[in-house]
Copies of this chain bind each other. A is one copy, B any other.
Amino acid sequence: MRVAVVQMDPEFGDVKRNIERAVSMISSETADLYVLPELALSGYLFESREEAGELAQTPDDPVFEEMAAVARSEAAVVVVGFAEKAGKELFNSSMLLAPDGSRSVYRKIQLFWSEKHVFSPGDAAPHVVECGGARLGMMICFDWIFPEVARSLALQGAQILCHSANLVLPYCQAALVTRCIENRVFAACANRIGKEVRAGRELAFTGMSEIVAPNGDVLVRGTVDREEVLVAEIDPSLADDKSITPENDIFADRRTDLYRL
């Protein structure tokens, strides 16, 4: 299958423009799975919770229709980050749009820095969605630093970690390689580029979106400062093989009886 990570530069607050840009980038490449950055529709640095609320959507919002139409017409899966409105709460979420029209949402369970003043932390375990020829697990940005997230997804059978990100720390992309090696899974990390100067802060996003193989090989890696769609042809079933020597299966070898977690 063909996996694409869409490295884009959302414009803060312009949901309509960002959707159009995302759809245009998706349409520029043929793939079976497209992963887009965290909060790709809204931008990242909210001045306040109220502002985030105005830029948030419910999962059935019509704003997703165009992207869902692409998923249907191309028989592809699209994973995209958005600010989710749920009653009085806001979540930093990823939406998975399946070719059959179904939708699945993951709410980021570990919030980064000022996100804690805007969003509620996710209230459900990271989960696996089987569609488009693979078993997919969503994780969002800062989730990368907690090995438990990728592990939880891999143990539930995920073959590809769909990592929507707005990375700012310098070592995340390298650490994601470790996540792949230790779980023998693929990762498709869609990071954004550009800067935001808002709310008294300046954040520079690090690009270098990447697709990584279960053996740690970086199949593609983006630039630090250009919008681009990076594509790799992969066989997701390779992630089902957890052996790394004739005597070692890294899941069977786990000593859950002796960990202190």
Contacts and interface: CB of A to CB of B under 8 A. Distances in A.
A250 to B, nearest CB: 6
A145 B254 CA distance: 10
Given A145-B181, A151-B261, A156-B260, A255 B109 contact: yes
A148 B261 contact: yes
Interface centre among A114, A121, A147, A175, by most chain B C-beta atoms within 10 angstroms, is: A147
A148 B254 contact: yes
A140 B185 CA distance: 24
A120 interface: no
Contact of A261 (B152, B246, B248): B152
B109 A146 contact: no
Interface centre among A244, A248, A254, A260, by most chain B C-beta atoms within 10 angstroms, is: A260
A124 interface: yes
Interface string A79-117: 000000000000000000000000000000111111010
Contacts of A149: 259
Given A146-B250, A248-B112, A152 B122 contact: no
Interface centre among A113, A126, A175, by most chain B C-beta atoms within 10 angstroms, is: A175
Interface in A111-161: 111-114, 116, 121-122, 124-126, 142, 145-149, 151-152, 155-156
Secondary structure of the A side of the interface?
loop
A197 interface: no
A258 B109 contact: yes
A116 B252 CA distance: 13
A256 interface: yes
A113 B247 contact: yes
A241 B125 CA distance: 27
A151 B147 contact: yes
Contacts of A199: none
Q: Which 4 A-B pairs have the closest CB atoms?
A: A147-B147, A178-B178, A148-B259, A152-B260
Given A109-B255, A256-B261, 18 more contacts: A112-B247, A113-B246, A113-B248, A121-B255, A124-B258, A125-B258, A147-B148, A148-B256, A148-B261, A149-B259, A151-B259, A151-B261, A152-B259, A171-B181, A171-B216, A174-B174, A174-B178, A175-B182
